[in-house]
Amino acid sequence: MHIADFGVMEVGIIAVLVGTVVLVAMVRYDLGPSSRLAMGRQWLLATALGTGIVAFAFKLLLIVAVVNAPEIMVEPLIAREPLPPSEHVVDPLQGIMDSQRFVWVALSGQADSASRQRDALPTYIWEALPEVAPTPSDNPTTPEKVALGEQLFFDKSLSRDGTLACASCHAVPGSGADGRPTSLGIDGQTGSRNAPTVWNAAFQSVLFWDGRAKSLEDQAKGPLVNPLEMGMPSHTEVERRVRQNPAYREAFAAAFGAVAKITIDRIAQAIAAYERTLITPDTPYDRFVRGDLDALGPAEVRGMGLFQSVGCVICHAGPNFSVASVFDPRAPIRVFPLYPTPYEARYGLTEDVGGAPAGSGRGSWRVPSLRNVAATGPWFHNGSVNDLTEAVRIMSSVQLGYTGRYRVWSERNRTFFELDRPKLSEQEIADLVAFLHALTSDRLRAPG
C-alpha cells in the first residue's frame, strides 16, 4: 500500500469509529429513553441508522482497492477494440513461438537488448523456404532440361579461351560463389563486383547486383559475352560452340524436341532450369519455423528476435530473406549505404554506385538474399569485408542507423521527433551472427 493511500485509509477508519460511537451514544442515551424502547429495540434502531456508516466504510474500501490494484479492479471492465493487424505491435519473440510450445530465451540481462526487444516492429510472419522453386510458364522444368543445363553449367568450352565455366565463379557443390572479393575472368582479369551465390537465385525477382536481369534466363546470357568474365565474342559464337559438340545434339533433342534448334535462348533456358534445382530449404531456421523448436539454440533465437526488432526484416524479409524475391517483388532495389558513416571510405562502399546514376554519391543495389550468407563471404557488392561480424556491424550502422540520436521529420504528423538508436552491443551483434549461421544449409556446412 502506498503512503498516500495509507493516510486516506487511516482518516476513514477514524471517521467510521467516531461515527459509530456517536450513533450508539445517541440511541442509548437520547432516542432510546425518550421513545421508551426496550434494549433489544434500541440495538435494532442503532443498526438501521448505522447503514450509512457501513455504506461509507464499503466505499472507502472500494476506493483504496481501485487505487492500489487497478489491473484487477478496473482493467477487466474496460472494453477494448483490437488494433488493425498493421498496427498490432507484439513482442518480437511472439512470432517464433509455437502455439503448443514456447521458446523462452534470456536476453543476457542487457538493458539495450531488452529495450530493442520491447520496441519491436509490427507483427512479422516468419516463413520457411518452399521445397520447390517457381517455374515460368514458358520454361517448364523437366529432368531432361535440368540434365542438359547442368552439363552446360560446368562446360568450360563456353568461354573464349576454354578456361572458365559458370561453375568457376559459382561453385557447386560448394557455396555457390567463388570466395573471392571479385571474380576472376579470362586472361586473369578481375571484375569489379563480388559473385553472388547461385543457391536460391531461383527465388530472386531480379538478378545481378544492380538488378538489371529480370529472370534466370536473362541472367544466364550475360556472363557468356562479358569481356571480363567468359569473354565470348557473341551469342552466335556460343551457339556454334554448343552445336559442334555431338554430345549436345542428343541432349537438346531430349530436352526441347527432336527438331528444336540449338539457340542461345534454349541454352539459357536449360541453364536456368538447372539453377532452379539449387535451393536450400534444409537450414536449422527452416526446421525451427516448421515446428522443430530444438533446431535453434538460445543465441540463435535471441538473434532471430533482434533481426526483427532492430529492423533487418525491412529489407531482408520473406522466405528468401530478400525483398528482391518473387514472394513480394515490389521494391527489389534499395539505396546502399543509406546513412553516412566512416565505413564508406574504409571499405569503399560508394566507389561503385550500381544502378544509380553516376555521381549519385549513394549506390542503388538489389537486396541480396541472406540464405547461406555465412558461407558466401567476403561480403558486399565489392567483396571488401571478410568478417561476417564486421559485416553485421556495418549494416547496423550504414543501413539501420544505429549510431546515436536522430531528429526525424514525420510528414504524416507534420512534426519532428527524436529517435534514439544507440549502437548495437557486441553481444547483440554476436547473437545476430549466430542467427545468420542458422540460415546455412546443412549440405553447405563445414564438417564439425
User: Which residues are known catalytic residues?
Assistant: 229
**DSSP class of 373:** G
SS3 96: helix
Which residue shows C-alpha cell 539454440?
297
- Alpha-helical segments (H) within 50-192: 51-68, 70-73, 111-118, 143-153, 166-169
C-alpha cell at 309: 526488432
| Strand (E) or helix (H) holding 408 | strand 404-410
Residue 104 grid coordinates: 523462452
As a whole number of angstroms, the distance between CA 117 and CA 406 comes to: 20
Q: Where is 7: in which H helix or E strand?
A: helix 3-26
DSSP characters over 10-31: HHHHHHHHHHHHHHHHHIIIII
Q: Nearest Cα to 73, choosing from 81, 61, 82, 83? A: 61
Neighbours of 439 (CB within 10 A): 24
Q: What are phi and psi of 418, to 5 degrees?
A: -85, 135
Cα end-to-end span (Å), the chain: 58
The H or E element that residue 392 is part of is helix 388-398
* Pairing status of strand 404-410 against strand 415-421: antiparallel
- Please tell me the distance from the alpha carbon of residue 180 to that of residue 4, in angstroms, as a whole number: 70
